[in-house]
Amino acid sequence: MTTAVASEFETVIGLEVHCQLITKSKMFCACSTAYSGAAPNTHVCPVCMGMPGVLPVINEQAIEYITMTGLALNCHIAEFSKFDRKNYHYPDLMKGYQVSQYDLPVCKNGWLEIEVEGQAPRRIGITRVHMEEDTARLLHRTDDATGEGYSLVDVNRSGSPLMEIVSEPDMRTPAEARDYLVRLRQILRYIGVSEANMEEGNFRCDANVSLRRRGTEAFGTKVEIKNMNSFRAVHDALAFEEIRQAELLRQGATIVQETRGWVDERQVTVSQRSKEEANDYRYFPEPDLPPLELSREFVERVRAKLPELPAVRRARLLGLGLSEYEAGTLTESRERSDYFDAVVAALPGERARAAKLGANWVLGEVGRWLNAAADRDIAALKVTPAMLAELIGMAEAKTITGAVAKEVFEKMTESGQPAPAIVEQLGLAQMGGSGELEGIVRTVVAANPKPAADFRAGKEAALNSLMGAVMKETRGRANPDVVKDLLRKELAE
Ligand SMILES: [Zn+2]
């Protein structure tokens, strides 16, 4: 929002995220969820096809995953919750209702901490996390001969476990909304309950946005925005919407409570449905499923399975003296964070020093390797944490120079051989003995009369060019401190 508008109005944003769980089977039947790429309607059975007379059975893995999510989001896990039927008619719904949770969700009253650059961390409330089932997928087509539209139904997705995570209207800017989504996705991936990939549709977000005059408490009329397929789209749609609403309010017009869709190509939201047309879902308790009673023992068992979460890891790394950037990047994914921890654990000596060395390598050479191709994954790296720690140890002990260590790392990523074997094969051990280097230094000084004369005339910087020549001659294997001493001695004569 422009500053003039921002000083007049405050934006209020709440987000609803639908997230597919990575269970092996669907929510209420034994059908496999591995339908990606499968032929339409091949992962189906009478339950997920919505046939009458069949009974659903609750997927225990899904209940464990939603409990895990609730705990990671600091929610209260209900001892007693139940399933309800949400009734509406649309061709993607096989039964004419969706099994969801209405008044008694599994998780309530949690929070997630966000931290937008340049601002203090802030807690965003989580109203609830509830369990439901996904719908079938509709494919819209046009008949070539008649030009008429028609739709195909693929039931494979129908009945897949879906979790809805509803935030409080606590966000105030599009940047905060984006940060909330980034951190939520990170947590879901850390605890391994969802792939949480927005582009692939297993992490979908709807936003509620309204404006109110600064200094007032009452919420303005909210608009729901749908059809955003990336974090950038969520940010841009909210930014567009707050300007649209501010302009209407300044003209004295009223905001219509409605659902609007984001049109990415045009960078605008358009009206889809007003409140009058909104569905009345007529929720009622699902008679075919028993209530969900989660014992405290079960909840504690799930809590024990939680990994150390990203925010806690970041704080731990900051405590070891790493920078905000280093701690943030190292903990971006659980895989990289686990790898880094294992490297540091394998390094001897003082912890802060080991963390700094580990960070330099994991963000430097390992990061370069990861970024060299789009689909690279740290799990495919042939250099194990123990092997990297051994290489770092050799560079620290000056068995090899820093330049050679990088070369050895690259060879390790190709062959998977340990560092000592590569150093041995290629004869890369550091030339430390002055006897070995004296002859080379003498030759280099003789071959470079100009920098030699410059240095003798008092130009200290000329030494660097001679250093470079020695390093080139020794393929980076010379100990720089020894070379410097020898050069000074040679040039003093
Ligand atoms: Zn099924």
Condensed to tens digits (0 to 9), the pLDDT of residues 244-266 reads 999 999 999 999 999 999 999 99
pTM here is 0.85
In a shared domain, residues 70 and 125 = yes
Q: How many other C-beta atoms are found inside a 10 Å radius of the C-beta of residue 195?
A: 15
28 CA → ligand 1 middle, Å? 7
In a shared domain, residues 263 and 175 = yes
153 CA → ligand 1 middle, Å? 15
26 CA → ligand 1 middle, Å? 7
In a shared domain, residues 162 and 181 = yes
369 CA → ligand 1 middle, Å? 42
41 CA → ligand 1 middle, Å? 10
H or E, element range at 330? helix 324-330
276 pLDDT band, cuts 50/70/90, is low
In a shared domain, residues 171 and 238 = yes
In a shared domain, residues 29 and 64 = yes
281 CA → ligand 1 middle, Å? 24
**Could you read off the pLDDT of 117-139 as tens digits, one per residue?**
888 999 999 999 999 999 999 99
Structure-token pair, residue 92: 């993607």
30 CA → ligand 1 middle, Å? 6
Return the exposure string of 76-104: e unless at least 16 CB atoms fall within 10 Å of the residue's CB, then b.
Answer: ebbeebbbbbbbeeeebbbbebbbbbbeb
Q: How many domains does the chain have?
A: 3
159 CA → ligand 1 middle, Å? 7
201 CA → ligand 1 middle, Å? 20
102 CA → ligand 1 middle, Å? 23
Structure-token pair, residue 133: 């089932």
Burial class (CB in 10 A: 0-12, 13-18, 19+), 118: exposed
In a shared domain, residues 85 and 36 = yes
Which of 399, 426, 453 marks a domain boundary? 426
In a shared domain, residues 39 and 153 = yes
57 CA → ligand 1 middle, Å? 11
Q: Which residues lie across from 225 on neighbouring strands?
A: 207, 260
2 pLDDT band, cuts 50/70/90, is low
In a shared domain, residues 335 and 294 = no
CA–CA separation, 48 and 157 (whole Å): 9
Which of 407, 426, 445 marks a domain boundary? 426
46 CA → ligand 1 middle, Å? 6
481 CA → ligand 1 middle, Å? 70
In a shared domain, residues 261 and 386 = no
106 CA → ligand 1 middle, Å? 23
Q: Which residues contact 308 (CB under 8 A, 6 or more apart)?
A: 316
3-state secondary structure of 81: strand
Mean pLDDT for 264-291 is 86
CA–CA separation, 438 and 451 (whole Å): 18
130 within 8 A of 328, measured Cβ to Cβ:
no
In a shared domain, residues 101 and 56 = yes
Structure-token pair, residue 365: 């050479």
32 CA → ligand 1 middle, Å? 8
User: What percent of the chain is modeled with pLDDT above 90?
Assistant: 75
What is the domain range of residue 169?
3-300
Which of 242, 267, 300 marks a domain boundary? 300
19 CA → ligand 1 middle, Å? 19
**Could you read off the pLDDT of 347-369 as tens digits, one per residue?**
999 999 999 999 999 999 999 99
124 CA → ligand 1 middle, Å? 37
47 CA → ligand 1 middle, Å? 5
Indicate whether 84 pLDDT > 70: yes
3-state secondary structure of 384: coil
**pLDDT score recorded for residue 426:** 81
431 pLDDT band, cuts 50/70/90, is confident
Range in 84-88, 146-150, 183-187, 484-488 with the lowest mean pLDDT: 484-488
In a shared domain, residues 370 and 257 = no
Packing angle of the helix pair 449-456, 462-473 (nearest 10 deg): 140
**pLDDT score recorded for residue 199:** 87
423 CA → ligand 1 middle, Å? 57
